[in-house]
Amino acid sequence: MTWVVALCLGLLLPLGHSKTVHIYVSPKGSDGNSGLDVAHPVATLDKARQLLDSSGIKDNMVYVELMGGYHNLQSTLHFTHAYSQPVTFRAYQDQEVHVTGGKQIPANMFTHVTDSSVLNVLPANSRSKVFQLHLPSAGVTDYGTMSKFGFYVSRTSWLEIFINGLPARLAQYPNERFLNLVTVPGGRRSRVFTYTSKEDSRWVHEKEPWAYGFWYFSWADDGVGISNIDINKHQITLANDTNYGLRIGHYNPSHLAYADNQGGYFRVINMLSELDQPGEYYLDRSNGNLYIWPNTKTGTLASSDVITVSLINDCISLDRGVSNLNFEGFTLEACRKAGITGAAVHDINIQNLEIRNLGAYGVSLSDSNNITVSRCDIHYTNGGVNLTGGDRKTLTPSGNIVEDNHIWKFGRVGGVGYNAIFFDGAGNVARHNHMHDGQYTGMWLAGNDNIVEHNHIHHMCVNSTDCGGIIAGRDWSGRGNVIRYNYIHNVVKNMPGAENRGIMLDDQFSGVLIEHNVFFQNQYHTNIGGGRDNIIRYNVFYDAVNYPLNVDGRGILYASNNGTLYDRLRAQPYKTKPWSTRYPKLATIDTNHPNYPIGNQIYDNVFYNKRGPNIVQYHGTGLNKTEYYDIHDNFNANPAEFWSPREYDFRFRCSIETWANQNSVPQPININAVGPRQPTGPKYIQTAIRQYHSTSRPASCTGSIIG
Ligand SMILES: *[C@@H]1O[C@H](CO)[C@@H](O)[C@H](O)[C@H]1NC(C)=O
Ligand SMILES: *[C@@H]1O[C@H](CO)[C@@H](O)[C@H](O)[C@H]1NC(C)=O
Ligand SMILES: *[C@@H]1O[C@H](CO)[C@@H](O)[C@H](O)[C@H]1NC(C)=O
Ligand SMILES: *[C@@H]1O[C@H](CO)[C@@H](O)[C@H](O)[C@H]1NC(C)=O
Ligand SMILES: *[C@@H]1O[C@H](CO)[C@@H](O)[C@H](O)[C@H]1NC(C)=O
Ligand SMILES: *[C@@H]1O[C@H](CO)[C@@H](O)[C@H](O)[C@H]1NC(C)=O
């Protein structure tokens, strides 16, 4: 029998060929429907997922057609196995589709606050503005819990609320900026400190106060619970330790750029008494009342407003081995943890999604290969894309590509450790992305042979210091990384602490090739933190706040990273092939003063800097040696010798061009050649790609010195 069927199928269908099946899903559908035609859609993505394994559908190419509306996941959409043919979940006919981990609450369930005990706690200016929602009346009883956040914590958020896609934030004081820790009586590793604000008398009724701060370093933030507030002593006792302890702060908003004294500042959060502006909310977990001053244009709520609360943890998860799965063209939002997460998966394409309003990373796939994330809009998450893959031992590239995405405001609750893109492994590629508005770093590179090219990166490190638009750090063995043809600008220092840089090679990171990039108005454009064999060439370094480049020899001065550096080195087969042929200078590191900044080359760059004629600032003495930093043939230009710096056009003319031609230095990239090549996000929100003004080449090399 089986034989006969197989034989018939074999005759009817060309071998190895499958048909294409469409499964329709609509929020108005029913899971009792077949889902196989547009008039009989199933209701849930999970039902569609189950249908993928049914006979007649299994082993065919499948489009799961998501029809317009809000598809609220009841639990994580969980894929358990590979598909033999591609399966694509996509917006049907480019309709407006939202896949959410929450539910929508009708505006009319929100009422003005009448309870006098609540009104008495609310600030006077907000009493008539704040709305109240009794969550259990809306069928919501899982509020989640407040939990530690900031500094690399892979968090599961508590219940959050979003109005028309905009996140609200926990009510806080101060609304912007921070308060200093004034005394720390128990010392660094204690939990008690005082502050000077007299506004704390409001805080006595708070049920679950928390604090958020940069408690010791301006590159490490922690959200922690408060166990006691003594308003007579203006003293707070934290419920938990912070990562690096506590210290007295010198935060002064008018002198931030100059202050080297870092850390020691905080704000209080999760306080009803501080709910004093639009976009703030507070949830009283003891009774399920949520209070919010709506962040709508009118400051109030109408039936047309889409109000979503987040309920489930990960939106979509992929078990080991899942492959041949694609997601296209919809908005994925309002989950308490990641958007799409998994380990050891391959051949997954994530395209034209909008990924927003999550508690953790938008996409986080570890130990995975052939993953493509392209043309997505990722924002209001806590981390953009985290991909690890490839095989470092054999230097087999992962095949992972992150391209043409727009990623911004990707550190929403907590700043440090939530990168726009994080790579580890071997051979991951990030190209043509537009990344901006990061509290801390934009891209973190770990592992080997990652390529970062044609990206537009700016306004990173906005709320932290000792940071870079792109960072790689503390690994001699992380060789073969290439950062080229990027446009990196406005990474400056807004907070106390150490310096910020466009590219930061931290703690002896080595073997990076940085070429053909344009840097503009960063504090420092790039640093080399005592590493080896880095090459910096063919870049334009224009107008740094401090110096174009800063280099040091920290491994000579102190060995505090020595243990980690050796551990990471010895974890790799660096003395044998293919490593020894790919990275010959690493193969001999043991006998060549490993902790010295040997073999760095800085040449054929063009720079203009108001601060002086030098392209590098040496941090430390005894570093001006060619065996450490071989610096030669860099061109110190005049602003008038570029096409039009004011319009971000740094192409060469006049004497730079003559010099460049003589030295075979190519013209720099055009600003319109970086960033996404195609519109990002689902069709319903796509806008044209931004084009910068095309300047024409100024005619004459005489006169016209532009300042
Ligand atoms: C406080 O710290 C302990 C020990 O590290 C941890 O188990 C607990 O979850 C923390 N509490 C909060 C609210 O973060
Ligand atoms: C990225 O994911 C990997 C694997 O889960 C994890 O080890 C790493 O810490 C993550 N990176 C960041 C910056 O969170
Ligand atoms: C990735 O794709 C390439 C090219 O299609 C293929 O050769 C390779 O086997 C794939 N790797 C994995 C892990 O699927
Ligand atoms: C930096 O912090 C301020 C104050 O908390 C916040 O308003 C702003 O959104 C943060 N910037 C970024 C890029 O996240
Ligand atoms: C660094 O660690 C290596 C290996 O553990 C050791 O041999 C060397 O003495 C250390 N160097 C310094 C400067 O501490
Ligand atoms: C480095 O040393 C060379 C040769 O002694 C000197 O010309 C140059 O000015 C020095 N550079 C800096 C930045 O000190």
Q: Residue 626 pLDDT > 90, yes or no?
A: yes
List residues near ligand 4 (CB under 6 A): 176, 409, 411, 437-439, 462-463
Residue 384 in tokens: 């953009």
For residues 357 and 382, is the Cβ–Cβ distance under 8 A? no
Question: Which residues are within 8 A (CB) of 591 and not within 5 positions of it... i.e. 6 or more apart?
Answer: none
CA distance 284 to 282: 7
Q: Residue 267 pLDDT > 90, yes or no?
A: yes
CA distance 543 to 488: 12
* Residue whose CB lies within 8 A of the most ligand 6 atoms, among 528, 624, 626, 632, for a mutation test: 624
Tens-place pLDDT, residues 456-475: 999 999 999 999 999 999 99
**What mean pLDDT comes out for the span 343-349?**
98
Q: Which of 360, 358, 361 is nearest to 373 (CA)?
A: 361
* Residue whose CB lies within 8 A of the most ligand 3 atoms, among 325, 346, 429, for a mutation test: 346
Instruction: Report CA Rg, the chain.
Output: 28
Most confident of 254-263, 328-337, 689-698: 328-337
* Per-residue pLDDT, 3: 42
**What mean pLDDT comes out for the span 112-118?**
97
**What mean pLDDT comes out for the span 153-174?**
97
Tens-place pLDDT, residues 380-414: 999 999 999 999 999 999 999 999 999 999 999 99
**What mean pLDDT comes out for the span 239-247?**
98
What is each CA distance from 232 to 201, 225, 239, in whole angstroms? 9, 20, 19
Q: Is 417 in the pocket of ligand 2 (CB under 6 A)?
A: yes
* Per-residue pLDDT, 558: 87
Query: What is the number of the ligand 1 atom nearest to the C-alpha of 239?
Result: 1
